[in-house]
Amino acid sequence: MNPENAAVIGASPKEERYSYKALKMLAEKGHNPIPVAKAHKEILGKKAYPSLSEIPDKIDTVTMYLGAQRQEPVIEEILKIKPKRVIFNPGAENKKVYESLKQSGIEPVEACTLVLLRTNQY
């Protein structure tokens, strides 16, 4: 397994949130989770970025925890940074952007990041 830089969109410091659990499990599985959250400076001891474009590292995977109605500016950034894939977690599905992602060589995946990690399908 190659460790990945995984941007977690909608990251939260609240332990009950799935985005928090994803940050934690990504780190436990040897990946480099990068929190993306406008309202926070740091989550789980990691610097949080207000947007994808401000992350200095190459992003391999984006894992989405924002609802479709709030994704438009994020999708534009995703198309610019060109990660390998975007995981649309339950509640974040956005079928109308999948085609433009595919045309840019980015794989849209409808799945739960936590399940993918637990079942070694990440």
Q: What is the CATH number of the domain that holds 111?
A: 3.40.50.720
> 14 CB contacts (<8 Å, ≥6 apart)?
20
Total structural domains in the chain?
1
Residues above pLDDT 90, as percent of the chain? 98
Rounded mean pLDDT of 19-29?
98
Contact between residue 65 and residue 20 where contact means Cβ atoms under 8 Å apart: no
- Which pLDDT does position 1 carry in this prediction? 61
